Amino acid sequence: MTGESTHREHPLPERLGILGSGTIARGLAAIGARHGTVVLWARSEASAAAARAALDPEAVQVTTDLGALAGATYAVEAIVEDAAAKGELFARLDGVLGGDAVLATTTSSLSVAELAGASGRPDRFAALHVFNPVRKMELVELAFPDAASEQTRARTLALCAALGKTAVEVPDTPGFVVNRLLFPYLFSAVELLEQTGLEPEAVDTCMRLGAAHPLGPLALLDLIGLDVAVAIGETIGARVPDRVRSLIGDGALGRKAGRGFYAY
């Protein structure tokens, strides 16, 4: 058997569909598969093959056919953090999802109200911001458009609880709570490197051992992806250090590229 094996726990209150095949999407599929069968949609055969290799094929149905999500009662979009790309996918979903299905997005920086409008079902829309690694991080930030029904809120909270997550409702502001506070801190660590000539390992060791952070700020930027960090930083209005942009220009995007502030 390929992929990550799983055991079934208490069943989910929803038939879960995942839109996307990246790290967040696969993490959601993996924890959902502990409770029942999950359908994961990937844009291409190559990304579908990568997802199949990472997941339990008996618990997660990976497909490139959007129509396979027709039976989902709760669909979570986890594609690139781009409003136009999300809107295009939402338009394709129109007529695929059932009329009572809830559509959620994992956005951390885009306007929930605008995405809800693009979804065509603002009363059945939610932002469900999970954290990487999804299998380990307990928090989910929830944000809802004004039009979201009480049933949508209740179903979203019930789903989070079934997945073993702690949900906190936050306002529809760029970065919500965690990223709004986190990224200025991460970028300040880069500025400290620029000002002092310290090595990344020195800064990270100080924050791990002196502030009990599980991961230092430079290693965390590498884990997030420097390109993703810049996109979030620009959305929340944080100053992005020149060194981050220089690394991106050199193709050093972090762990996913094999190098960033560190070599992997």
Alpha helices, H only, the chain: 23-32, 45-54, 83-93, 112-119, 150-162, 178-196, 200-211, 217-224, 226-236, 242-249
Of 109, 111, 119, 179, which residue is the catalytic one? 179
Any catalytic annotation for residue 109? no
Catalytic residue, chosen from 14, 77, 81, 141, is: 141
Residues in Cβ contact with 55 at an 8 Å cutoff, skipping those fewer than 6 apart? 3, 4, 26, 29, 30, 33, 40, 62
Beta carbons of 27 and 37 less than 8 angstroms apart: no
**Strand partners of residue 18:** 40, 76
b/e burial code for range 188-219 (CB count within 10 A of at least 16 → b)? ebbebbeeeeeebeebbebbeeeeeeeebbbb
Two tokens, residue 23:
């790290």
Neighbours of 187 (CB within 10 A): 21
- C-alpha span between 4 and 179 (Å, rounded): 29
Q: From 141, 79, 85, select the one nearest 118 (Cα to Cα).
A: 85
Instruction: State the catalytic residue, choosing from 21, 108, 111, 119.
Output: 108
Q: For this structure, is 169 an active site residue?
A: no
8-state DSSP, 259 = B
- 104 Cβ contact partners less than 8 Å away, ≥ 6 residues apart: 74, 75, 76, 77, 125, 126, 127, 128, 156
Known catalytic membership, residue 179: yes
- Concerning whether 132 is annotated as a catalytic residue, the answer is no
**What letter represents residue 120's amino acid?**
G
Q: Cite the active site residues.
A: 108, 129, 141, 179
